Amino acid sequence: MKERSAKNFIPALTGYRAVAAWMIFVLHFFPFNNPLAPDYLKSFVREWHIGVDMFFVLSGFLITFRYFDQQPMDFRKYMVNRFARIYPMYFLVTLAVFTAFYLQNNLWNMEKMVEAVLSFTLTKAFFQKYFFTAGISQGWTLTLEELFYVTAPFYFILLRKRSYWFFILPVGIFLFGLFLKDISQIPQNAWGFMQKNISYYIFEFFTGILLAILVKNRSDLRHKIKGATWFGCCFILLFLLSLPTHYQNSDWVKAGAAVVLSVFGIAPLLWGLIFEDTAIARFLSTKYMVLLGKSSYIFYLIHKGFIPVLIYDYVAENVLIIFILLNILSVLMFNFLEKPINLWIRKRFNSTN
């Protein structure tokens, strides 16, 4: 395995985070969505939402890689670390979003209060009505991240005992999600509780878990597996080109697509970035890509919403300039807000890992 620090820092995986966030930016700003662009290009870019899938597999990998062997796990310390990593910047950006709305519209009613409560509590992803509309539209993914963070230590307990739990748990969670969606289909369910099923993403988190276990316990496979980086990249490319409408189908199709993409595309790519010395890994490991990867969480939070709108209205309408300015702002916010707050919370609650 490539050299890394005592805290299991793998530079290429940090740079990978920046690329995943940038894919979501391109999807949302869609610079190719104009009458002159060919349809195949539009369809291709519309599938770049897989940047979210790339994050989920990576999250499953990193949490398992760092904590799976900790027996017993200090759950309080673990949760402090997770809270410090995710919530402070999410809270600040969400607060800014609602403040900007109030200042712009001079309006605050019960509907906005509901949106605010669901946003600040990271529960809006449970309601189809508020899934994309409340607060930070892309914030629904953080609900899944937090659910995984809270439950991961319990998965680890079972996985250490019997390997068959690796198959039972994700399948059981997916079926439970289908069950909740089915029983909540009632006429008075105005908010659409559990009507936008998110349970199929569990397969991506568990792909990351399996990958981490293989990396930790079967690193000898690196000598037998060749070309994983390029295989993963090519598979992801073929996936984007060949399945342009799969996310519009049933939950079973979505689950199958999640398994195929994560197992045959994202996981091999991550394996290659860890073990293989390729041009891709070297590029993602550069200090600039690592810095952009570290600030990618903030970039993800602010890339869509009032901040790019302000840039568009008062600075530049060019998408490339907006992209560059958002990255610069993300780096500044990481260095002067996210990092200091993260360290303060960990130090305050005696958490240093």
Q: What is the pLDDT of residues 179-195, one digit of tens each?
A: 999 999 888 898 999 99
> Per mean pLDDT, which range of 21-35, 94-108, 125-139, 143-157 is the poorest?
21-35
Cis omega (within 30 of 0) on the bond before 35?
no
Q: String of b and e for 181-213 (b: at least 16 CB within 10 Å)?
A: beeeeeeeeebebbbbbbbbbbbbbbbbbbbbb
The pLDDT value recorded for residue 42 is: 79
Distances (CA, A) of 333 to 290, 292, 325, 337: 15, 12, 12, 5
Q: What is the pLDDT of residues 237-262, one digit of tens each?
A: 999 988 655 455 789 999 999 999 99
Residue 99: CA atoms inside 13 Å, Cβ hemisphere, count?
7
**Mean predicted confidence (pLDDT) in 327-336:** 98
The pLDDT value recorded for residue 353 is: 46
**Mean predicted confidence (pLDDT) in 145-171:** 96
**Mean predicted confidence (pLDDT) in 305-320:** 93
| Percent of the chain clearing pLDDT 90 (strictly above) | 78
The pLDDT value recorded for residue 5 is: 42
Q: What is the DSSP letter of 265?
A: I
Q: String of b and e for 326-353 (b: at least 16 CB within 10 Å)?
A: bbebbbebbeeebeebbeebbeeeebee
**Measured over all CA atoms, what is the biggest interatomic distance in the chain, rounded to whole angstroms?**
63
Q: What distance in Å separates the CA atoms of residue 321 and residue 327, rounded to the nearest whole number? A: 10
Radius of gyration of the chain (CA): 20
How many CB atoms within 10 Å of residue 71? 9
The one-letter code for the residue type at 307 is I
Distances (CA, A) of 172 to 56, 164, 233, 293, 296: 18, 12, 30, 33, 32
pLDDT beyond 70 at 3 = no
How many CB atoms within 10 Å of residue 91? 14
SS3 193: strand
How many CB atoms within 10 Å of residue 323? 19
Q: In degrees, to the nearest 5, what angle opens at C-alpha 170 toward C-alphas 300 and 262?
A: 50
Q: What is the DSSP letter of 194?
A: T
Decide: 209 and 159 in contact? Cβ < 8 Å. yes
Structural tokens at position 246: 């799969």
Decide: 151 and 78 in contact? Cβ < 8 Å. no
Mean pLDDT taken over the chain: 91
Structural tokens at position 5: 């620090």
> Per mean pLDDT, which range of 32-46, 124-138, 248-262, 264-278 is the poorest?
32-46
The one-letter code for the residue type at 118 is L
Burial of residue 244, with CB atoms counted within 10 A of its CB: 0-12 exposed, 13-18 middle, 19 or more buried: middle
Q: What is the DSSP letter of 124?
A: G
